[in-house]
Structure 1
């Protein structure tokens, strides 16, 4: 039986409808009644009826407001409107909300019964369509998995003719195929897979570009047209990023194939490319043949593993100790090339860099004991090595930390340089100051100087500069200068930008500050 809720502010109408309509013979049962829209919301939430019979004119919340609220929150139900007024304007509004029937009071029982029969047939038809769509979706997903991993269901598709028929019925018989594998990086894998899949289905299936499936730990796209050219690959990569903004991922294509039985080959190549993404370029859709060993093409003749590692530790330590910072990154790249020639996989490379970094840090700090903060920073850095998704990111992270750690361990000199930098900022805040400019003046790397500045002040360089400028701006505003004049005086060429910065740090606009 389908549930019905009757909503009318007149008790006689509610009672009459319950008594006079042959509900059971029509396939319905009256689950509840309500005197207004507000009461109906509570009842409908509890009963979840298929049909709501509702009066237009009611106190508290009228019928159209009730229908509007229910449809806006996604309730799927049929509405029959009752009205004591032959008001066509109401009928038009009701039709806009997808109302199935519109009856005038007093209600004719035969007309109401006829409306209920039409409503029941409509509900049954929609249920059948949804059931068919769900069966089609299940069928398509099964066939898609069969194409990607045929060894799992060889019996089901053992007959080639039967297999082709199944593929055609599932809507997957195309002229070409290309598999793209997407691997979310980091924790909360199940959540990331679900969000990526949900975000990509409208873009791929909704636009008839192919099909989407989740085969953990991947979201898999089966495309019906080859991704020819870098522009199409870049466009798809952007769509993947937009599907769940903030999720880090690696994605690769297995290349285009011309027949269903070759889909598994494209899938395997895509998986292999994703597995090797650590060694590849980040921020792009990888191809089926990533150049993961390009760094191993070196003329350097390597020695025994232990000797080579010991030599890398010594050379890194020596360069850091004497302040020869320019060679640090090239030495780290040489280490990466060596690890790759030893056929180390991602895990082994990270372990090697963990050992290398730890050994260098201990040599740099051999003559002094680290305090608890330094110990914590080193521990966090070393553990972070295993969280880096790409080799390039790993080398940059090690490079930054070793430079910062080495310069922090140096005796003398640095405190004076830091004071010079602070004095320079306070004297030249109105100029177009950049961190790299100061780094050049003081003969430091920009990365190291930025880290030193953050460690000493607790602020990033740009934040500190903004605060100096805003403090000076407050002084000038207190002297009666106009806002645009103050903006120019403290180094902001754009008044609107100055306005936003001032409000960010002071909680009110320059004009408000000046007036008070």
Structure 2
């Protein structure tokens, strides 16, 4: 800390220097002035925390110095040392905020006590000032965030909208009198990594920069306001008051600035001007719909109006349902040429129609994943989850292009769909190969265990394959059901055993897995047209 000694007698200044224990009081720098005028001249640059001054001096008295300190250097503490035991001087010192009024000759203990008191007071006030300063900084930092939350509530919280408007007006965020407003949504592409990297990979900083550009272009709170919408951290909302500015012109100007700075142009969704604030929620939904249904093929348009995009939506009749069966045939075939054809041709219909939107692409992607899930369920319910987990790992490397990109890149979409279908086809092929091997194992298992109790469910559980698949496969390969195949195999074994005259019927029935001899005879007759005994007799006849 710093001190300034003011006295027109050099010996007094020297005595004060010697009497005060400066280091103890935390004072590291001391300067002198021979009068009040010189002291005032030094104060602006030197900025001492403590002034020790005389009252009566030829070159500017102490009264004038105290008055100056009280007016221009209020944090500075001062002590008066005077040879005049004058009540008026003492009262003026107290009224001006002086710490003490000491009489010459000065006692060492008295002046050190006065300096200690002055420094404690200065440090206490400095601490208070620092706390207030930090609080002020915090409030200044939080105010924009608080304002953005309030502005976002105009859209999200209709029940308290009037209260929110009053608070915004009280905080001077919006003008007092607003009749109508036009809402515009600016959509940030959060997948534009090169742009985000320019801001240290900080999306918030990018949004802050774009928000400032918007507000500067709008031209002041009287025309409108732009803010980061808390309902979606990738959107900036512009509210334009009472037709004072033209949305088309403003968004054009904003894009011109953004293009000069970042070589980008952003898309805006809007709707017609309407009553403020009651229509804001509806306006927001319409503006978002306008962005979602904008024509990605129309790369020259950046402001999308809700009424215009509604006219475009009649082109959106083409959907995944139109190609679902074609894709299923191609994927089940495993033919790479067919897979490439269906993966490449789906976009051509959109190109032919001249219209494709982010909303349409989003629905298409969702339908593709749903199709994949149901196809795996149909082919192999037991292996579905395992294969889905494998395909989801591949998805991490094969992500669909961002639907909020500035324009559509047909090549990227074709390549993503081709890779998606190729991965799915490989999964289906692996299922079919596993099933083919499993079915051969099933037949071998039946032939080895025909004498045990065999049910379709037991086989399905043993081989982790659906009952439906096993049943369907027996009909495809043998033109009979699973049960008929097992029965036929048992009866053929029984016919071989009947050649042995020493084996009784109940023994043979037990050996082929039909322990009830009566039921065995009944089944045998149904299939062979004669009983087991009659069949045995035919074997004995010449």
Superposition TM-score, scaled by structure 1 size: 0.40
The structure number with the bigger radius of gyration is: 2
